[in-house]
Each structure stands twice: as structure tokens, then as C-alpha cells.
Structure 1
Amino acid sequence: MAQLLPTSFVDGERSYDNTDNDAPGTDIGVGVNGGGGGLPSMRTQKPSLFHKIQNHKSILALLISDSKIYAGTQNGDLLVWSLVTFELLFNVHAHRGSVLCLYLSGDGKLLFSSAGDAIVNVWCTSTHSRLYSIYSSYDVGDVFSVVYSSELQTVYLGAQNTSIQWYDLSQKDLRPPPNPTSHPSYRNHRFFDSKGPTGISTPRPPSPSGPCALGGQDLEIDKEHIIQYAHYGYVYCMLLARGLSSGGNDPEILISGGGDGTVKIWPLQTNGDGAIAKPICLERGDESVLSMALDGTVLYCGKSEGEVDVWDLDTRQLIRTVKAYDADVLTLAVGHGFIFSGASNGLAKFFNSRYEIMNRWRAHEHLILASSVTSYHGMDIYVTGGNDGCIAIWDISDSVKHPSKGPIISNEQLILSLEKLVSYRTVSSRPEYAPDCRRGASYLRNLMKNLGAETELFSTEGNRNPIVFARFKAWNKAWNNKCPRGKTVLFYGHYDVIAADDKEQTWNTNPFELHGINGYLYGRGVSDNKGPVLAALYAVADIVAREQLSSDIVFLIEGEEESGSRGFQTAIRKNKHIIGDVDWILLANSYWLNDDIPCLTYGLRGVIRATIEVTSERPDLHSGVDGSQLISEALKDLIALLAALTGSVGEVTVPGFYDNIPPMTKSEHERYQVISETLIRQNPELGDVRALAESFKARWREPSLTIHRVKNSGPPNSSVISRVATADLSIRLVPNQTTMTVQKALQTALAKAFDDLDSANQLTINFDNQAEPWLGDPNNQIFRILEEAIVEVWKLTSDKKRQSVLANKRSAKELRDNTNGLKSPRLSPVTSSTLSKGGAYPSQVTAKTLENRQSSQESISTQKPLYIREGGSIPAIRFLEQEFSAPAAHLPCGQASDSAHLDNERLRLLNLYNSREIFKRVFQELPFR
């Protein structure tokens, strides 16, 4: 039920009191009577948390540019993230004290940071290098605020010692150089360097790198450029403004707020060195002015004790006081016609232009120390930083109404759809989740319908999960009767996922809730395969919205892929007349080799899953009472059978198993060389090129047999002779091997080995599911278009000459010999976890990590995507190729560290957005190639 908040009035001004007695995490609604003087209307639904960036120290300062988020932390770090993907771009220990304020120049080229070390640093936003270090000749204490006038080229700072000081950067090379020892880093600290009881001080050890370790020019403020006692309290906040002059000119003014409760307006002298003239004072009470925001000529001041003063700077009058909190108002921001505020109790609020509270919610556990509001990619966001080390990005789009900007479908809509789809527990292997699977399928179908597709649900035999079918019909507004329709593209994917019970609480978030953290989206299925499916879907929706779809795009999204695609083939054959002709097949159901280099997959191994069971007619027996060599023990027989399937170095000994495996071609060998050279150049710890290449060949182009588990009957103790022994195994197949041929060979080999045992037991072999191997043509049209799109979107460059230099010049015979698994030496295998850089949630990226990432990006810029094969299997892909007589191609969207099928599965935002763009280009270009 809505709770009414008290209203109060102040002589000469109207005010309302919205105190904060709510419990943490609650959202309070407020009644409204609609007329003048009524209570404000407040939404009960708090803004959705679009993304979260986790840091290990408090966030004291925030700034948002067109493409970046800047933050200053308690331990003196300056951090820079991408506003699009929320990836950490830069991290430097910028100050020896807490970073208290950030300011961006009007042209966006200079970033100013002030801190508790009495220094203002000036940074280049393009290179992130420090240009200048500005400090006072006096001990000013903490520098709480800093602003910069681009017109006057002057930096203004407000300090703890109550002074306002300035430095004219246009004069930096004309002034005498400062005394090196006058830098604050060399001064005694007011507290730590004071004398102790013995009368002797113990100064802090100097930094080994000195104060100039970050580079740049030291600039000392002239003693004449200091106004002592600018306030009778700390100078907490400052702003620059125009538009307050009644004359024809419109000079800049400096506005400062202090611990004395006073706001001061300082005219700036344009004919001098940026000096400030005598101020105009705005006074109301003694509560400190802790934050300020300016909207035209209306100034908002956040104060201690929870009030927000509203000043009309034209008339210099206080027009309203809002009792917003029972806590200090530490941050204010203005945007989209709203006033946003954050307080020391962790609550965020925003007001409309009539100063009515529209919403409030708990944004952080404790203090909200910094905030900013902006728009990006069609979404309106409010960003807050707190002493919990978190930067929270809140979606406020529902509260901000803008005119339609045309048929652009934002990435925000994509994320919201993914959030909803992840919330369905579409676990195909668990019957108890069957209702959720159907709800997930229905949601996906409705989403496709809303985006412009004709849709159906194909039922599957055995009442398995349905297949979602959608057709986006070609329609191009630029067509005339002579324009031909392009070829049809089929996109295949799946909406079912692996179970995520999290009984051991190894997930850091709820597996079935989407969480955006540090540039990644976490949740079961976000990478495998819900995220890539929606990236492809929204890519088509973009084209449809612009009426530029020149060919039919068909989607087949099944719900049984994680359970062997049960019922898929029958359902597709049954509904083939609805699907129609298909010319190209595209899927996105795997990952890169590491976390940096995009890949294209042109081959997958097939699989046969089998269960071998040995059964005795006798019941479970006691080994002490009945055990003897006369007993044919089921578990002994099973172990003997399993031992007969592989040799001493792991080779499969089933007769004829390797007979039809194709030899290595020269072009394929070159691809392995390129992959190995590229990965080792990035990570020398992977070993030598030959060993890495051999490891990939063993995983991708050679068959294998794996025993997964052995089970036996009877109670779990060491003295039982089990009546039944069972083993689960899988065989991975490569091209020229077929599931039917290998099944027959396995049955024959096991039957012969069992006969040789002369056992009284019975042998049963069951084949659970299988998938044929797939090998695409990496030189065909679909791969060429995918490569072009990847190169353009990921900013890669194709360098065929470099590829040829890396090629090995050995003969075809040597290449064939090198692929023979029986003759190759034993090499230490490289696994997917070895290749992945990891990045455990929530990873704190270090400067060294960023250095490695930048190095990786440099290497990426010199190559095209890696053409890879994979050891895993996707049952549907080879079937679809054969059924529709159409070639397939596979675009991996995720990184190696995505943890698909594991705990804390994730997908990088950048990968999701770029995959959408790649699909869009392919869907537009492929049908006419």
C-alpha cells in the first residue's frame, strides 16, 4: 500500500519533506491528489539495473563522455571503461590520495583529476597519458573540486584549506620552472609526519619512482593566483556557467559551494590570467553545500542534513527547498528534464521540473558518492558510484520520453529480451522443467512475431520440447518488379540449456537471472546459445525495420540440443514443406580459441554415445563368502572389454577404425600453423608451434574414445561382487567416418572380446544418441562473407602474404605422416582452459592485464579470423546440410572463458553487439552472392 509522506511549508517558499524511513531495498510509492499543492507522484517500480561494474575500492568521482565512463577511487586509481561494452580500457594509480573530482574539457580532449594528495593532474583522453601535474605552493590539503575554462585555458580548484586557486595553462611555458622539492610529494604530511611522544617524526618512505613517475610537466600555482578563505569551510564543489549577464557579452562565471553553507558566484576576468573577481554570495543556513548541479539558470545545491536548495541565478533568489533525505545529499545530476540525487544512506531519487519526486530506490548499500546522467545507443541511463566499490548503470528510459527516432531497435531491447529468455529454466534433460521449456519457446516465438516474422511451433515426437520456426519474408521498399529475390538463409540455434542447480553455491549470481558485471553478461545459456540466437534475431529485425530485407531469413531454434536433438530430424522432415527451400545454413554455437581473436569454425567431430552393460544371472554376492576364480564377475568382464578398446597410448583398437580418415592437405596444415603461430605470439607459455599444432590436430581431426563413468550394482562397500556393471562411453568421429559404420565395428569388436572371455555373463550394448561429423568448405561464399564481416566489425586485416610465410614447406607425404596419431610422439596436450585467459567473476583487471590486452589487440589488427575445427559435436548441422542440400557455416560468438556448461557462464557485451552487427551484414549480403 502506498505510504504518504509528510508535507511541510516554509515562510516565503514552498517545500515538501520526503524523509527516508524505509528499510533497505524497498521502493515506496506516494499518493497524489492531482491538484496544485498535492503530494508528488512516485513510481513504485525502481529503474532496472542495466549493468554493474565492480571495483575493489570506493568510487568517489564519476564522469561520462560520449564513449567512456571515467571513475576515481578511494585508493587513488583512475579507471576508464567503455560506455558501450563496459570493458575496462585503462587503469592507472593516478594519485597518492583519494580521487575526489573529475572534470572533462569542453572539447573532450583533456581530463582533470583532483585528489587528497593536493594535486590536480591533467590527462590526454586519447592516449590516457598525463600531461601536467598542478599543485599549490601552500599546503592546501584535499582538493575537493576542479573545473576548467577552455576559453581562458585556466584550471580552477577548490581546496580543504578554504582557498580557491587557479592556473593559466597558456602561460605554462612562460613561467619559471618550479622548485623540484616544492612538490607535495616531498612535503611533510600534516598527520603522519608529525612528531611522536619522543619528539622525533617518522616520515613516510618516499615513492621509489618519485612524484613524476606518471610523466608530464609539473606546474606550480603562483601565490598571486590564490584566494585564501574563499569560504569559511571546505570548498566542496564548483561549476562553470554562462548566461547570467544582463549585458551584451556573456562571460563565464565560477560557482562554488562550501562547508559554510554559502554559494558564491565569481566573475572571471577575461582580460587577465583567469583571475576571479569579488563574488556574489547566496546564503541559506549553515549546512554544508556538498554537491551542485546547474540547469540553465537554475542551480540545485545538495546539502548536509538532506536538503536540496533551488536557486534562480537570474534573480539570485532561493525559490524552493526540498527536504529530500534524512542524510547528506552527496551528489546531484541534471538531465532529460529531471533532477537526480544520491545520498549518504544509499538512496537515489529523481524529481521532475515541478520538484515532485518521481522515484526513489536503494542504489547502493551505503553511501552514493558520485553520479552522472546521459544517453547512449537510444537508452537513457543514470550512473551511480558508491563506497561499496560498485558503479551501477540504471535504465531510466521508462521515465524519459523522447520523440520517435525512426525504426532503430536498440541494444537495450536486445538485452531486455535476453534477460527474459534467460529467466526461463529451459533445461531439456530434466522432465520437471518441461513447462519452463515450453514457456521459453512461446516467449521466443512471440518475440519473433513482434519483430515481424511468421512463426509456428513444430511439435516433436515423444512430446519433447517444440522447435520454434520463424520466417522473415523479403521486403525491400527500394524494389521494383524487376528486382529478383535473393537466396534463403536458414539460421539454426537452440534455446535449451544445461542444468544449473548450484547446490554447492558456486555461482556468484542466480543462474537464471541476467546480471551485467564488468562488461560481461552472466546467466545460464547466455553464451550457449540464447545470446547468439538473439543477436542473429535482432540483426534481422534491424533490416526488417528499415524495409531492406531482400531475401527470406528462416529460423529453426530447437529445445533438445543439449539432450542429443531428440525428435529434431523427424520434426524437420515432417514440416519441410513449411520451411521450404534453403540455400545457406548459418549457426553460432561455440567459442573462440582464446579471449581475443575471432574465429570461424569449418569442422566438427561427430559423436556416438553408448552404454555397455555386463549382467550376471546371480544376485549381488559377498566376495569373502562367494568370491573365487570360478565366478564370472560382471565388473571384471566390463573392465576387460574397456581395456580391449584402446591401446597403450590411447589409440582406438577397434578394427578398421582409422581406415577412411582423410590425409592432411597442405592448405589445412597451413591453417594449423597460422593458429599456433598466432596463439604462441600472444602467449609464449603455450609452448612451441609444433606441439600446439599437434594438440589441435588430435582434438579436431582425429577420432577418439572416452570412457565417462563406470557403475555397478549392490551397496556401496568394498566386499560386493556386483551382479551388473555398466560403462558410459563416447566416440568422437571425423569426416569419412559414419555413425552406422562405427557402431557396427564397435559391436563386432566388443562381441569378439566378450567371446574370448568365455564368460557366463551377458553383454548388452545400447546406443543412446549420435551425430555425424561435419566438414564445411572454408573457401566457399558464406565463409568469405563471414570473414569480410568479421574483419570489418572487429577491425581486423587480412594478410595473405603473412599467412603464406608461416606455411610449412614439407611434402604431402610428411604432412600425412605427421597426422598419424599412432606414430606421433607423446605431447603435452593444450586444453581449452589453457588457451583461455580466464577472468574469474567478478575479475579485477590489473594494469598488467590491460597491457597484455593492448598487446593482444595489436596482434589482432594484423590478421584475419582464425579458421578452426572443433572437437565437439552438434547433431543438427550435418543433417540440415543433407536434408536441404545447402552448405553450412559456423560463427563462434563467445570467448574461450565463457564457461559454457559450467558455473558462472557469461558472454562479453562487446561480443554480443559485434555478433549482431556481423549477422546483419551477412543477412544483407549473402543472399546475392
Structure 2
Amino acid sequence: MIPPHNNIHESEYASHDRQPLPISSIPSTENLISTPRGHTPIRLNSPHLSMAELSLHNHRHHQASTASPSSSSGLHGEQQTEGRSSSAMPHFSNFSPEIAAAAEINRSSTPCSLEMSSSTDGMIIINGNGNGNGNAHVNGTTTSSITKSPSTVTHDEAHVPQLVHKWTHTHSILCCVALAKNKLLYCGTQDGKVLVYNMDTYSLSKIIPCGSSTEQPISILAISLNEKEDFLFVAGSDSLIKVYDLKTPECECTQVVYSLVDIGDIFSILWCEITSTIYIGAQNASILWCHVSLDEKKLIEKHHHDLEKLPHFRYDKFFDSKGPGGSQNTLQTQHNLLRRSSTRKTRVKLFECRSEDIVRFAHNGYVYCLEVVHNTSIGNSNDKDFLLSGGGDGLVNIWTFGDNTLKKLTSLENDESVLSMKIQGSLLYVGLGDCSINVWDLMTLQMIRSFRFGGNYDEVLSLDVYDNCIFKACSSTGLVKFCAMTHSSNVCDGIITMSVPEEDGIINAVKTFSIDSKTYLLAGGTKSLSLWDISEPNELKEQITSPTASSNNSIAKRLTNDDLLCMLKKYVGYKTISKNPQLYLEESRHCAQFLSKLLNKFGAYQTKLLPVENGNPIVVSEFKANSTADKSKKTRLLWYAHYDVVDATKNEAIDWSTDPFVLTAKEGNLYARGVSDNKGPTLAAIYAVAELYDKQELNCDVVFVIEGEEECGSVGFQQVISDNRGLIGEIDWIMLSNSYWLDDVTPCLNYGLRGVINASVTIKSDKPDRHSGVDGGVSGEPTMDMMHILSKLMDPVTKKIQLPGFYDNVLPLDKDSEKLYDKIAEYLGIQAKTLMVKWKEPSLTIHKIQVSGPNNNTVIPQLVSATISMRIVPNQDLEVIKKSLIETLTANFNDLNSDNHLLIEIFHEAEPWLGDYQNQVYSVLYNNIVKHWGQEPLFIREGGTIPSIRFLEKCFNAQAAQIPCGQSSDNAHLKDEKLRVLNLYKLRSILTDSFKELGHT
């Protein structure tokens, strides 16, 4: 008998309810990580802030704080601490206590939102009473115990961030950075200091004054480090960038960068190690850059009065003119005294930004943040290094840099001011002025998700991302850990609140870093700095997007079968479930980037991620033939695969004997979701090509086309491939491995698949749901009408489909094919007719019928809906069959003279495919299967559908061939999906020889 699990690799999740991008996640409440209490004027705390700006901000903050029981702070850092607990321990508190912590995802066809229910069950409380009962003390700080509500949510206690230490200061902490190598924390303050804290002793080890009390008061607004962590870059409201040598005992200022242009406050700086350049985002909407030498030998001594030409001493005709009576203001007096008294020398080198090294009006607003991206593809650009800037105009501008110039590549438009940014892999997280966070895929330039939170006047001043959790620092609601990508249907499984009861208010900066396999979060806010342990249990030490390594000399070592298994372990670890983009969209993007980087490491000529509207991107990568044996025209192969999988979480994972997304090896098999369909075969093909390329034995060009929506009917695939046909080029042969053997012992070659038409048929009455005892028989009932029209689609005796001319183009069975069927039937011990019904004859199936109204025996439903499918076979015209189906259903319905209404929707379709099993590719594969397996393969067809094969054949005018990898017992789409290790290795060997041989012909 043919195993029942065979041939189920097709588009299981095809649906007419496809969710558009970006996906909107809108929690109606937030939990807070509140450390500092008290209000600091606006985001940047600048002395240059106008009274109009300050007044507007204070008005907004007052509105936000009066609406929030968590905000009870005053202006300018004045604390209002009435009735507050003195405990310094974290605790959970709801931003809106009347709103619930339980949530469920609205799975309607509209953009996804996360809606909160009205129950408070499931909230986790961290008891911070500080009374010592059950609490441990570490380095003088009290760790928190955990209390759960009676309806305990299944949170792992280790997932709750733990407060490690808290420090206070007289002014606000505006920016921070960690030196992981030296276990030091550097924090820029509102009063012009850089505070240095030692993580070994949790003590303040040094204060670096960046502006003395005799000078104009400044605020440190931005801080950065070089790669070696031995130079610190500091910028702020004095329009200067000061470079401090951290190797010296006193952390001396050794370089100063300034501009002759009045740029105002410096809101962001970025040190680029590759070009030894400091990039500057300024208040006057410009971006500047300056090449800075960090070589100590080139330092020169300067008199202090030589610094008079710097911006904060520069004479201003308006502000520095004498007032009525000829008197000077206090600031002028301080400057003059400093000029007259300064005779000391300092070893410092001045760097002036050249007038040509500036992009004026880079934004139509302040330039709040800068990020740099190296060795990454963005859009269709061939450059690999980019500068990203976020501004008050709501734009993220992407710049290419080289030859001391900036050229704008493109802009990403957001609805509000861009105040903060964070890059993780190929994803850009953008914090906005309305408390929203947008997520952009840089490789496809698509906005894929938008997180929206309550509070229109709450600004995301800073954010960081760790382990699929977003830490956002806000101007009103403090610090929020939002784990919206934890794959839970309950949004509160993803929102965790950390709070220090006696302090609450603005958080200006957050930064994550790792030391000794632990991950920490540093949060600076109003007069306070807090350090949190955010390490996850059993956290992976491997980077989520980086296949290991690197140099060409090491490629050969990486191409072993052991390394293939290592990469497969990473590959299946991505939950690329295309059915649920609201939960797994980011993981699918990370997986696509993983493939892209792996292909590039192996020597791909070019690799692109092609964006799909409302879907996961398509990976297109080309390897050029590099064999020196033959210089003639090269054969070009296209290898088709997919990286998305069917679901194996929650209820689907209950019956699994292993974790579906952790590769488990036992009894000679590999167990994981997607290991057989289709991730294992995909890597086998990649490693086969990479091995030939590394040995300079690749005789043909190979183009990989790997999509992420196959399980959902290949959404957008045909349009994207058609639009990028020029990028892919001419193709001679198409190959794939997305099928299975008929049993567990005999290799097979697949040469045919049926097509499919999925339709939804709905009949609706103008009358509401009615009672059969009152209205039964009065008028035509939708359910009865549905029974009539569906019953006429098939003859009840012959089982033939009753569409006009339906069987006219079905191909007759030729003698060669008949021999193949007889051979398989004899081998399996079944009748050849059974195989023909399964593989080469069309069929009709009614999958489900649903009705409206309550589920009881007396209701006449107002609406009835049926889902049907038709399997069509090669040589039948899909468009003709589809039109005939609609016309037949409509005619049957019209014959009823019913008062009801009929609606027919075709929501998925795919053409049948029939390959030529006698062509060159099948001949080569056949011989290599015999060579490596020691037996002849069976030529088989299948009754299922792969949507893209026939399309690719027609698009590139090339024939396709399929070589199955897995056994019939692989359980694809079912529990305990597996792939035998031997099958994986054999497929790689067969493809290696086949690619090499096809290049010679």
C-alpha cells in the first residue's frame, strides 16, 4: 500500500484572507519599566531650547501625565514623591489598571491588532517590599522575588528582567554606552559630565568634566566609542565633538572637532571605524562629517585661549551685544574672564569640518539619530556600506558614503518624527514621536510591522532590541519591555514591566550589552541610571543571522557534511511559518537574510532579496560557472525551493516527541519542522554547488530561487519573478526537490503533478437567521440551494465531473507511461488503475460547509458557505476550467429561481505540470541515482500541487525536473517530521555529480 502521508507538500495554507503589510500591533495598555521619577524638559534637555518649544512640550506632558496614574512628576527634575514607597525593587504595574492583561489576536482579514480584554488574570508581580523576606542581596542591592497571580501565566521566572543596581545623580542621564571589555559604564549627563561606573564594584570610579562651571553650561546629548573601546566621543549642546583617550589615567581630551557653520546642538554622533570618520547629526537639520586621526603622536599643544574660535565662545552679534546702559550679561562676563585668565596649555588637536563635508537640510527637521550598516545589501544598491539618519521630518534617509561624500539612496517615510533607531540583522526598528515603533526590512525596503501604543504625547526617546524583545524608553511611560514576537496568542505573554516604585518618569537612553555570557540593559533617565539583567534562559550564543565564517581558505573546511548539519540546525531554528505573519514575520526575514549571507559566503556572484507585496521576500542568488576546463557557452540551471514551513507550535506541537524547531538526531534521522519540506533538500543543493565552485569545477551557472510563501500558495511569486526576469536571466533547466519516495527504500524521480482550483461558494438570504418551526417552507433556504447546485457538479453513478467539455483535453495513456504504471503497481502490489486515479485523472472535492447562526437543530441559516477544490491534470486549460466552473454553478443556481444570492470566489489556483522523463536532466539524475544508491529509481507522478513549477517553465521557456529527497514516512506537515541523514547526504552527492555533468553538455 502507498503510505497515507505521501504527497502533502503543497500549499496547505492558501487563503483569500491574506493580511497586508505592514502588520499593525496595537496593545491598548502597557506595562512599565520605570526607574527614574521626575520630569526633565523635553527629549534633549538643551539649554538652547526655546521657551515656545518648552511650553509646548510641558503642555503635552501635562496632558499625558494627568491621564496616567504612573506619571506624577514635576518640571526640571523636581520630584513629587508624595506617598511613594521607598523600596528600590522592581515591580509590575499597569499603565491603565482598568484595562486587562489578557489579550488575543484578532485574526480577521483586516490588519492585525492586539486587543486587550478586561481581565487582570495572568499578570506577573515582582514583590519589591525590600523587607528581606525571601530576597537575596547581591553587591548591596536587593534582588526581587516573584509573585504570580492565582491564574498564573506560564512565564519562566528567568524571563523577568532583574534589577542589578541603581545609581543616582543630581541631573538627568541623557546618553550612555558600555565598555564590555573593561566592564565600565559611561554616561553623559545634563550638567556636562561623563560619569564612569565600575561594574565589578558598582561604584562611581571617575567623573570626566566636559564643561566646567565657569564655562557655558552644556548637556551631553550623544556619546560613542571606537571599536577598540579606547577612545570616547562626546557631543552636546556646545556644538563640539570632544575625543577622550581612555588609555590615559585622567581620560584626557585629545581631539576636538568643530564647524565654522552654526549647527546648534549636536543630537547624534557616529564613529565609522572603516573610514576613521565622525558623522554628526545637528540641530540645524544638517549632517556633517570629519576625518579624525586618533594617533597620539600627532597631537599638538594648544593654549586655552586658542579655543576661543570654537562655537561656544564665538561672538554673536545679537546675544553678545551690550544691552541698555552698555552692560554685559553674565555669560559674556564669564567668557571674558576665561579669555583673560587662560594661560595653561593642553595637548589637543583641533579638527575643523570642511565646508564641503556637510549636507545642508539633510532633513526638514533636527537630525536625532544616526546608524551605520556594513556588508549589507539595501534595496537594489550594489553598495555594501550605508549611513542611516533619522529626523524630525519623519524620514529615515539612507546614504551611501565613499570618497568623503554622502549620496542619498532612498528615504523611508514614517508618520511622526524619528527620535531613535536600532538595527538588528536586516531589520530597522524606528522609534517615533507618537510612541509608535515601525519595523522596516532594509533588504527589501518594506515596512513590515508597526507597533502602536497608547499616549499620543509619549515619545520613544531610545530603543534597543534583544532576543526578539523591544526595550523602548519613553518620555512619559518610562521603560517598556515589549515581547511582541514571542509567538504567543496572548500579548501579555510578551509585555513585561519592571518598575522601581519610588521613581518614575522619563527614560532618555537604553543600551544592551553582553559580559561573561550575560546580557544587560542600561537605562538612563531623570537623575538616575539603572542596570538590569535581561539574560534569557539557555540563550543561544550564536548570532541569529550569521553563518560562521569567512575567509576563502576556510570555505573548503566548511563544506563538510558536519557543517551542513550545523547550518541545517540553524536553518530549521527559524520559525518561518508563513501562515501567521503577525507572529513570525521577523523570523522569516531573518531566515531569508541567513540564506543570503550563507550563499554570499560560499561565493555567489550576486544575491538579492526580492520584496513580495504582503509576503516574505524571495531569495535570488547566482553562482557563475568557474571551471577552467570548458570555455564554451555555459548551461544555466535554476534551482527552486522554499524556506517557509507549516505550523508546529501550540496545539500542533503537543504530539511531537521533540521540540519542532530544534534539530534532533536519533536513530539515523533528523527531526524538526521543515527538515524534509524543504530546508534539508535546499541546503543539500546549496552545498553541492558551493563544493563545485570552491574546487573550480562548476561547469554551469546556477541560480537559486528560494521563496517564503509556498505553503500559502506562493503569494506574489509569479508577479515578482516576472518583474525580475532580467535579473535572473536566461534559463536552460529548472530543478527542485520538494517531493518524497513512494516507500522508504526505493529512490524515485517525479515527473508530474496535478493542478488545483480552490473556490469558495456562498449563498445568502436577505432574511436573517430564522426558526424552522415558524418559517420553514415559506421561502427558499440557502442551505438547500447549496445542496442542489453542488450535487449537480458530479454524476452520482459514474463519478464524472459535470462541466461541459471537462474531459476533452485529458491526455490518453501512452504505452511508455502504461509500462511505468505497471512497473510501479507490481512493485507496490496495487492496481495500476488506483495510481492513475491518484495521479493522472481530475477530481472534485467538497472540503467543508459552514452556516451562520447558532449551532442548533431548529435554525434556518441566513448564509451558507462551501469550500471546494478541483484537481486538474496536464493539458487541461486552467482558465477554461475555472470559467466553466463559475458558469455551471451560476446556471444551476439560476435554475432554482431562488430569492437568495450567490457569490463565487476563486482564492487559489495552480497549473498542472508534466515533465519529460526522457530528457537530458532526467537521464543524468537517473544515472547518478543508480551510481550512489545502487538501484534504479522509479519514475512517479503525484496527485498534489506545487504552484510554481509550471509557471517557471512558461516564464523561462525551460523544462523542469524534480528529484525527491525524503522517504514516504517523513511526515511532512505532520507531527515528528523527519529526514534520514543518509538521504540528505546522498542527495548532495547526486546533485554534485549532476551539476558537474550538466555543465559539460
**TM-score of the superposition, structure 2-length normalised?**
0.44
**TM-score of the superposition, structure 1-length normalised?**
0.47
Higher relative contact order (CA 8 A, sep 6+): 2
